[in-house]
Structure 1
């Protein structure tokens, strides 16, 4: 699958080496676009050119997730062509929202709650509840220590979660969604206990 120019908004085109008079080899931009919406290239000091396609073609929630490959073909003055490929994993976005960490009064229990939302794969809404997903509960004593996974929780049918952890009333807390092949990972901001 070659969805070019889908992907990056701007792509640098690598020049072919072209033989000039006297046998020297000089960089020469060799890729030209004749498609609709192409614009004149921006010239750079080293002889390279950057081409933009207008309007920008960006991946959105209606494209299938998975591994995508972009191909670019450059052609030299003598007709020799070079094709390069780049692949990337396309995943739908997720967001952890309204994450809080509260100490339960009169105990050493900490309650974490919030919700996980995802880009709707059917296109009905931008972000909708992400049900039945496992989340990691992370903790660290202070900014100088590494994050440690101390528990897990699962979102309910409405994408919300609530978990209770014992024995660690101080420090910093965060919740992380590890992601899948179809959905990107996300981590909440660091939270301190609110009284």
Structure 2
């Protein structure tokens, strides 16, 4: 009986050792990135030299480090951010965007690492937009009083932010002219004009009724939109 019991115990011990040897090693789950947020999603560069760009990344728990490499797709501009975990799975960081850096689409290449996992780093790419500021300068609708049927001249100039924080005249900018009849609330598109040398524009319309004139620039993938204040004209 004792021999049978000893033999059974020995067989069980051998099986346990075999199981311990052949069982696969346990590994931590690979890191995962669930979301990336860059704010502002549309950054507008002005004469102010720099503005803060905030990055937030949400990951699986257990991630040990997160970095964000922000770069302009075209032209010079880059920020490298080492994010900090502010609560489990939530990483935040920021850097400055300077007004000389390139406008357009920027990419945000995110990399998260889990040092206990052999699955390697996980990466995710997002994007955000940067535009250079503009404004409509010296807008006029003249004369301020005019007889019905006579010409009204709408004029001004479009300015855009240069690489050194200065504004200059933007040539070939499309200006849309709007009119709002006195006593109404709706602006109606009346025509378009393209800026010339120094960003200047001039467009003439036939006087029909009293109201307000406005010039708007809708911007591009590089330039931000802008518009003038309304200028009133009395038609007699």
Q: SS state of the match for residue 9, structure 1?
A: strand
Which structure has the highest strand share of the two? 2
Contact 1:138 1:150 in 2 (8 A): yes
Which runs of at least 4 in structure 1 moved beyond 6 Å after TM superposition? 37-40
Per-residue CA deviation, residues 53-77 of structure 1 (Å, 9 max, x unaligned), is xxx33143343x4432111112235
User: Which residue does the alignment assign to 2:155?
Assistant: 113
| Residue in structure 2 matching 1:61, options 92, 100, 108 | 100
List gaps (5 residues or longer) in structure 2: 1-37, 44-51, 69-79
The alignment's TM-score, normalised by the length of structure 1, stands at 0.66
Which structure has the highest helix share of the two? 2
Quote the Cα distance in structure 2 between the aligned partners of 1:32 and 1:151: 49
User: Which residue does the alignment assign to 2:86?
Assistant: 43
Higher Cα Rg, which structure: 2
Per-residue CA deviation, residues 100-159 of structure 1 (Å, 9 max, x unaligned), is 333454423433222111122xx36611112343311012336642x3221122323122
Closer, same or farther: CA 40–66 of 1 in aligned 2, 3 Å: closer
User: Which residue does the alignment assign to 1:102?
Assistant: 142
Closer, same or farther: CA 144–62 of 1 in aligned 2, 3 Å: same
Number of equivalent positions: 170
Q: SS state of the match for residue 184, structure 1?
A: coil
The alignment's TM-score, normalised by the length of structure 2, stands at 0.56
List gaps (5 residues or longer) in structure 1: 19-27
Quote the Cα distance in structure 2 between the aligned partners of 1:40 and 1:100: 49
After TM superposition, the structure 1 = structure 2 runs for residues 8-27 of structure 1, keeping only pairs within 5 Å, are 9-18=53-62
